[in-house]
Structure 1
Amino acid sequence: MNTYLLLHGGAGSQSMRAFADLLTRRTGTRVLVPTHPGFAGTERPDHLDSVAALARHYDTMLDEQDLHDVIVIGNSIGGWVAAEMALLGNPRLAKVVLVNAVGLDVPEQPVTDVSNLTGAQLAALSFHAPEKRPVGPGPDVGALRAYTGMRMTDPTLRERLAGVKVPVHVVWGASDGIVSPAYGRAWADAIAGAGFTLLPEAGHLPQLEAPERLLALV
């Protein structure tokens, strides 16, 4: 039986919890929704200073908890972490699902800088139907900066992705104003055998706007 590891983006682990509950009800299996160290006021050890380091942190957790057949679902920066985990080659990993992931350097499709956006501006870029979503707090910029320096891309990542051996499915909300569908296709093109699915009427967080359709893909 699979174990699911859900890795959140800048919006925090709360952006994954409703989807985790749905996944638990439908699959009856174990679903883990950690908060990245440093987010939501949690402590971040000094050695966790990059996305690659965070990926190693979760890779070690798979071993420590003796988890098997793990499906990692990562949204936004969590997708970047999931991709770095795939590169580590842990045999405990069964599949990786990248949901509107950042991290890839695509000069013609730059990642939107969200550091100075208001809540309303961020919602307008994040959701297909922002009027249906309450304006919440902005991303945890301090934690994002600690891991990414707010660059949100790694120029070395595209070439390294050729080494991914685990199955990967790239899922993208068609209305994402932070990272475009063309950016998502670049992710799929960079990983041999990766699938790509575009979700209409969903933005940067399909787990919130299209949970049932996302569930059908994982």
Structure 2
Amino acid sequence: MEFETLTRDIDGVRTVVKAIGKGPAVIALHGAATIEGYDWARGLADRFRIYLPFHPGFGESAEAPHIAGMQDMVVHNLRLVAALGLDRPHLVGHSMGGWMAAEIAAVAGERFGKLVLNAPAGLNHPDHRGADLSRIPPEEFPAYLAHDAAVAARYFPGGSECPSAEAFVAAREKEGPALGNILKVHGMGHPNLGRWLSRIPNETLIVWGDRDRMLPASQAPLWQAAIPNARMLIIEEVGHFAMQEDPRTVTAIGDFLAT
């Protein structure tokens, strides 16, 4: 089964969406970069129709210099769901995409089915701080993204899943300013996000790798406590890239969405 490429114009921004599979619709939002790709979605394609949009300025989507914070991304994605003609799709988000999905659900959760937050960013709790990216040497990034650093290394220059060093650098140079636009107001989160989570009406699964060095799994109970209808799944011996490091993570997400 191969990925399809869909294109939609959202407020003048050419937005590219990869899609695969048949069944109930799932929107899956990527994190602060597209390093790890989207091949993990094959693990759900036998049960669901997975839509994987590139955020404006990321991957194959066009740049959107007007983006001035996460609220713009919330509106962008709500309009994208409408443009795709989807009726109450499930919503999945990883890392920054988890923060994005949580804000979407807090303001428009009734437009979606179930919610999966996979190691979501955004809370910035002072007792459970994430890694300071500015202090991580480039050669150590794979070890922050996966407990088995070799798994994440596949997506970096020299790895089997990285097309070329030139392409890798070009993608980061494109995505850096786009990320900066999202983070320019409050950084990687919002000071009131914890107050908003109680508005989420969706049945929610919080997924976290217990060896996550990017965002600590000790945050998971905070999310579960704040969202009224949430449960928690801790995956042992995996890091931030839990879906890539252990395919059983993807299976567990599919089982949650299917029940």
If the length of structure 2 is used for normalisation, what is the TM-score? 0.76
Quickly say closer, same or farther: Cα 1:119–1:87, change in 2 above 3 A: same
Maintained 8 Å contact 1:6/1:31: yes
1:15 aligned to which of 36, 39, 52: 36
Distance 2:247 2:211 in 1: 15
What one-letter code is carried by the residue in structure 2 that aligns with 1:155?
P
Distance 2:86 2:151 in 1: 38
TM-aligned CA deviation for residue 65 of structure 1: 2.0
- Show structure 1 runs of 5+ residues with no match: none
**After superposition, what is the alpha-carbon deviation per residue over 1:53-80, rounded to whole angstroms, capped at 9, x for unaligned?**
1122111111222202311111110001
- Show structure 2 runs of 5+ residues with no match: 1-22, 157-167, 255-259
Distance 1:216 1:21 in 2: 14
Distance 1:118 1:105 in 2: 22
1:97 is aligned to 2:133: no
The alignment covers a number of residue pairs equal to: 215
Q: Secondary structure at the match of 1:217?
A: helix
**After superposition, what is the alpha-carbon deviation per residue over 1:102-148, rounded to whole angstroms, capped at 9, x for unaligned?**
00131111121214533321111111100344261586433222101
The root-mean-square deviation of aligned C-alpha atoms, in Å, is 2.1
What one-letter code is carried by the residue in structure 2 that aligns with 1:146?
N
1:59 aligned to which of 52, 69, 78: 78
What one-letter code is carried by the residue in structure 2 that aligns with 1:143?
A
1:185 aligned to which of 221, 227, 241: 221
Distance 1:51 1:194 in 2: 23
What one-letter code is carried by the residue in structure 2 that aligns with 1:210?
D
The answer for the alignment partner of 2:178 in structure 1 is 143
TM-aligned CA deviation for residue 36 of structure 1: 0.7
Quickly say closer, same or farther: Cα 1:41–1:21, change in 2 above 3 A: closer
Distance 1:189 1:91 in 2: 20
What one-letter code is carried by the residue in structure 2 that aligns with 1:121?
E
1:2 aligned to which of 24, 28, 36: 24
1:21-40 to 2 correspondences below 5 Å: 21-24=42-45, 26-27=46-47, 29-40=48-59
Distance 1:54 1:107 in 2: 25
The answer for the alignment partner of 1:45 in structure 2 is 64
1:119 is aligned to 2:138: yes
**After superposition, what is the alpha-carbon deviation per residue over 1:41-96, rounded to whole angstroms, capped at 9, x for unaligned?**
74332442212211221111112222023111111100011001101225330011
If the length of structure 1 is used for normalisation, what is the TM-score? 0.89
**After superposition, what is the alpha-carbon deviation per residue over 1:154-194, rounded to whole angstroms, capped at 9, x for unaligned?**
11100011111111110001110011111122111211121
1:75 is aligned to 2:97: no
